[in-house]
Structure 1
Amino acid sequence: MSLPSPPRHLIYVDVSIVSGGSLPIPTPTFPRPVINVSFAENVPSTKVQIDTAKDRSGSDNNNIEYSIVQDEGSDKFLLTLNRTASKTLLYLSNKVPLDREEMDRYVLNVSAQDDGIPVRIGYLKVNVLVLDANDNAPTFSSELYELNISESAPMNAFVFQMTASDVDSGPNGSVKYRLIDSYDGQFAIDSNSGDVTVAKSPLNCPSSCLISTNSMRAQTRSCSEFTCMISVEAFDSGQPQMSSRSYLAIYLLAENNHSPVTSFTNVQSNNTLFLSMNSLKDETVISIVKISDDDRGDNGRVTLSLTSGNELSVFRLDPSSISVMYLLKIANVDVERRAKKLIYNLNFLASDFGTPRRWS
């Protein structure tokens, strides 16, 4: 070192001596400190190429080894090298199929270590995103839901909300609904919300003592109840589409809307019956009385009684083997009693067993 003129003050100079006259050895460096990669779930041994590190220390120190620093989930990944005369290729692959529903992202720390003395190590942060596959069907919280509703429920009345969930993401986890059986269009469902509503009124469902589905058997509460067993399907928007089903048992609560109606055979239009009382034998059937009621269950179960006009006990009303029919007979009485009156004004009372009861 030379100076242009003698110094006026003392000058202190620190001198560092580097072995061999070379510069300090740099640390292996990746082109980018952080990268993002993605793997599809449920796919084994997917390979993703990542950039290699550069070592500017010279030819003696360019043999770099790579490894994944141990951390959560790092055991599921593997680094592989493909060295050629002109280039080294570095790949990151998954050792096992990844499950997005178990873990949807990983953070890996990749180290690059040279073989110099002293050893220099550089690091690369790898953000791994697990892409969703449509590997889960929507699921309901129950296989069977049960509820009561009036048979006279009005149009568009809310019945029940069917709800299913799908752990997939995006379109694969977007759930919609449809009815497999609407009972002749009596029920409808909102495809987005799962709300089941009344589409026809009044409702009419078959009577059943036992309901059987694919995976369960449900006992209804009595044989007189009328039940619609609706099958609801939840499906996603993935490819391929996946779906599942649940069942909605709707028990109709009958309402007593109708009074019993009676009709007689062998009578004239004015409800008059002409008989020759002296010639009739005991137990002769003089008329068949039919009763009908458009209600269901106890509301439609009827009985008939002879309330007045038979003070002499000339007539008798017997139930037939058919529950909606009665036999009006001549009672077992003597002819003299029958002949005491020329005209009998008989009054009948038909009633049901509903709540409240109705008569006619």
Structure 2
Amino acid sequence: MSVLCCFFAQRGASLTLISSWPIQHLVLCVFVMAVARGQVRYSIPEEMMKGSLVGNIVQDLGLDVKRLKSGRARIFTEDSREYIGLNVDKGTLVVKERIDREELCAQVSPCSLHFQIILENPLELHRIDVEILDINDHAPSFMNKEIIFQISESALSGARYSIDSANDPDVGLSSLQTYRLDPNDHFVLKTLSHTDGTKYVEMVLQTPLDREKQEEYILILTAFDGGTPQKTGTVKINVIVLDANDNAPVFSQSVYTALVAENAPMGSLVLKISATDADQGTNKHMSYSFSQISKSILNSFSIESTNGDITVIAPLDFEKSKKYELNVVATDNGGLTDTAKVMVEITDVNDNAPVINVISFSNPLPENSAPETVIAMLNVKDLDSGKNGQVRCLINPSLPFRIRQSSSNFYSLITDQLLDREKISEYNITITAIDEGSPSFTTNKTLILKLSDVNDNAPVFQRQSYTAYVMENNSPGVSVLSVKAHDKDAGNNEHH
């Protein structure tokens, strides 16, 4: 096994590390970008083993391992799942859980994990971005094992028959690249693109069919990806030759668009699609259906086969999916088809309340803490978008504290004036987060802060002066007078 490493560094600019491994092993390419303001970017391939090294965070941030330990360094992510772990003893980031790029980001590229490394005393936030690179771990696959076409013998050369494209979750060169049709005596393949750039495949008739010579054709369609080694998937195409249907349906648009609110009730109409067929009689009749769509889409939308009405059949959630792409097919009685794409965009409704997470809390707090002392650090987020996701944080203005926003979604609770335990020893601080939606949502979080004592009070006698009368000839040790003093401090500070 051989390793080739190239290393370039410039203070305050970027740091790049490239490693190459033999092709039979997992290809590993790691890129590191260290920014002077506390931001580091790495790139790792998906499916790395647990414990695999992501990067040396101490070196890349210019920190010391002792600082990681004294600052109680830890990873904070706004998501509940942590894929990357921090080894405080070594100052390295390692893979904590199996990372599947397709599960994490689907077709979104680049695919990145974002989190913060937090250190305390003093407080530091370092943003870490880890890009997940694709490997060729999926072969192209077709939704069905067999496709049946019923084609009229009168179909003219150039007639088009839409085929459900193969699916390959990989991206880049590892994704689906080409198709091959065998045999190709009568048909050729044509790869086309919708106006939005997505590709689809059509089988195009080159030479006319003759039912009297051959009533059925068996074809094999093979899909190839561009990975190394290359992976393939196949589907059987059964062509049944019919008589006299020589016009295919034609949609009124190649791409339809629709806006649907995420709180749309079940049964709401999304869009009505329509196609026309120049044939007459039964050959003019057609049906509408979905093609090559996921189970989540089938569970959310339905299409009426006779009139092309697309309706909502399950609750929608903008926070889970903001856009849907529906492939629709119009099929006439002779088996000729046309395809179109329906782009459904989900609009946000304010249906999520803000969430307050306490990252750190200094409790108890010495009563002699100076103003601007940080008591607690908070992360406040709202899953909604736009104004619905914008949040304000408030506390009771009569309290000797205030809220200060340190960065996006992060707030600090700080002292606003000098404190006195002897006057008030404990505070109930209620933090209120309000989003900007209409109507708005509010979330409260109460922190109970106790003040620890400082020896800032001297003892005080009950009286300014005392007078005592003593009889002469008293024995030694006889009590002359009892005095008493009081100290407002607590614990050892009040003993005298």
Using the size of structure 2 for normalisation, the TM-score is: 0.36
Larger strand fraction of residues: 2
Answer with 1 or 2: which has the greater Rg.
1
Give TM-score scaled by structure 1 length. 0.48
